[in-house]
Structure formats: C-alpha cells, structure tokens
C-alpha cells in the first residue's frame, strides 16, 4: 500500500435541514440541525482513512473547541494528524442548507484554512517526500496549492487535484496535476467551454488534457463519471441507483475511494468503481464525514448501476 498526503481544508459543517431554502428577505423554520466535521480536504482524508488507506493530513484549525473536535474526528477515522497546526483564529466553518430533495447550498468561512501558506508547506516538505500521492482541493489559498504541486512534481510524486469549489486556475497548477477531478461546472470554469452536452464535456476535457493533465475524471452526479486519458479516449461509468438523502460529500467520497484504490494498486477503471460505490453509500446518509462508509460496508454493498 502506498502513502497518501491530503493537503486542504478542515471545516465544521453547520447543517440545517429544511423543506426548501429561504428566498431573499424570507424567514423559514428548519426541521433539524447538525454539527458535523467536514471540509473538502478533511472529508477526502477521512474517506481514505475509513477505507483503510495510509493517509496523512496537512492543514490548520483554530485554537477553539471546534478545532479540537475536528482533530478528534480525523484521528478517530485513521488519519495521521501529527503535522496539523493550530492558529489563533477561528476554525473554518461551512453553513450548509439541505433541502428535502437532497440538494444543498453551502457558504464557507475559511478561518484557519486561510493560513495554510508556503511556509507551512516548507515546514512539512518531508511529508511530501514520504508520500506517493499528493491530493489537494481549492479551499486553501491558490498560491499554496500551486507551490505544493511544484514541490510534489520536483519529487516525482503523483498529484491529484480536485478543483473545488470552482475557480479559474493558472497554467502552473494545471500542468503539475497528474489527475484532475472536476464536476461539470468546475470543468466549465477551468476551460471556458460550456458543459451542457456530452460532446461539449468531451471538448472541454480535451482542452484540459492539452495543458498537460495525464488523466481526467469528470463527476456527473447521478449520471456517474467520465474518465478521459491523456490521448482523449474516454469511458463513462454509471452511478448506482440509490435514493439520495444528502449529497454534501458525494464528490469527496468518490475521490477518497478512487485515490485509495490507486494507492492499493488498482487500475484506474477499478479505482473509479470503488469511488462510485463509496459515493453511492455516502449520499444515502446525512452529513459529510458522518456519511462516509467503512471498507467493510463498501465490500458488502450490492447496488444496481
């Protein structure tokens, strides 16, 4: 089994369940409230840890009660947290509104995540050296992601970028990403090409591949995912048919499963299959990290594509 380093955000998700989200100026009553550890980086690290992958997390939390709880969740789920630092600032939070139909709206306050900088990467350069896979998202400063991937590629590590939340990126980040895993809207932002049809998704994917990406996995929600290799060949993988309760960590769970599969020696097709199973289970449960399945649960899953 190979070593995975996840560098990214660690947030507390403040989740409200409601019939529908309020409109501007409108006040509605919610049905329930949960406080659940989240953050795209932490979610992906926990997904890997629960699947018994070998994973270390780099990031920052505040010197507050939320930070203590966030660290406990990571550690309890098999993530090495030895190098996570605490700052004299609030931990990151995400306010999540989940509607009855499973759709969600998310507002993120970065807090300590905004302090993950180049100096922090330099202090932990040995962790990059020890890793085989380096995974990042975009809930920490873009300058840090760019620097992280530059260092990782100098050491010939495999870099995996989840360009979420969607942002316009410079060519250095793209060219230093071995695998990029966007959803359709993120792919549109990256390429400037409308992703309103399969043909346009393929066109946008080929544009991204021409910038140096070696493999592209586009998540398509309930339709599954599309894999494109460096030559532009593509294949679509169907999602499992499940009743979605909360899609909050669907993308993170998929990425966690995929990266775990790669770290255990699976070919890309089988790694995508593992990620698809993990995502199918996660959307049937509430919350981010609380929805992520264990390896035993994934192995026992029998769904229909």
**What angle do helix axes 184-191 and 198-209 make, rounded to 10 degrees?**
50
Q: Taking Cα atoms as reference points, which of 101, 148, 103 lies closest to residue 124?
A: 148
d(CA 33, CA 239) in angstroms, rounded, equals 29
Cα 21 to Cα 289: distance, rounded to the nearest angstrom: 23
The H or E element that residue 95 is part of is strand 92-99
CA distances from 199 to 64, 101, 166, 184, 202 (A): 48, 29, 21, 12, 5
CA separation for the pair 171, 165 (Å, rounded): 17
Dihedral (CA of 284, 290, 294, 297) sign: negative
Q: Which among 158, 296, 179 has a CA at the least distance from the CA of 230?
A: 179
Beta partners for residue 61, in sequence order: 86
Q: CA-based Rg of the chain, rounded to a whole angstrom?
A: 18
> What whole-number distance in Å separates Cα of residue 243 and Cα of residue 162?
25
Q: Which of 13, 64, 178, 252 is catalytic?
A: 252
Share of the chain residues as helix, strand and coil, in percent rounded to the nearest 5: 40, 25, 35
The answer to whether 4 touches 255, Cβ cutoff 8 Å, is no
13 is catalytic: no
Reduced to 3 states (helix: H, G, I; strand: E, B; else coil), residue 180 is strand
| Residue positions annotated with a catalytic role | 252
């Amino acid at each position: 089994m190979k070593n995975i380093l996840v560098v990214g955000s660690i947030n507390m998700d403040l989740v409200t369940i409601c019939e529908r989200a309020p409109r501007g100026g409108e006040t509605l009553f919610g049905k329930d409230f949960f406080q659940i550890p989240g953050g795209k980086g932490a979610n992906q690290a926990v997904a890997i840890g629960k699947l018994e992958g070998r994973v270390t997390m780099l990031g920052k939390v505040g010197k507050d009660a939320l930070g203590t709880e966030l660290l406990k969740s990571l550690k309890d789920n098999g993530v090495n947290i030895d190098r996570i630092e605490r700052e004299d600032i609030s931990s990151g939070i995400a306010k999540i509104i989940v509607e009855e139909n499973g759709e969600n709206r998310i507002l993120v306050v970065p807090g300590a995540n905004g302090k993950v900088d180049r100096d922090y990467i330099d202090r932990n350069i040995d962790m990059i050296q020890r890793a085989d896979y380096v995974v990042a998202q975009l809930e920490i400063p873009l300058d840090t992601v760019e620097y992280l991937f530059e260092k990782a590629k100098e050491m010939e590590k495999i870099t995996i970028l989840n360009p979420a939340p969607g942002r316009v990126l410079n060519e250095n980040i793209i060219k230093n990403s071995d695998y990029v895993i966007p959803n359709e809207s993120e792919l549109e932002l990256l390429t400037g090409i409308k992703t309103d049809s399969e043909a346009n998704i393929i066109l946008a994917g080929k544009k991204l591949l021409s910038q140096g990406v070696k493999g592209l996995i586009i998540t398509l929600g309930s339709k599954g995912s599309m894999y494109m290799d460096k030559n532009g060949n593509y294949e679509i993988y169907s999602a499992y048919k499940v009743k979605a309760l909360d899609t909050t960590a669907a993308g993170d769970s998929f990425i966690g499963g995929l990266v775990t599969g790669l770290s255990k020696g699976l070919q890309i097709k089988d790694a995508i299959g593992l990620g698809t199973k993990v995502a199918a289970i996660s959307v049937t449960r509430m919350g981010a990290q609380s929805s992520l399945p264990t390896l035993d649960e994934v192995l026992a899953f029998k769904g229909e594509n």
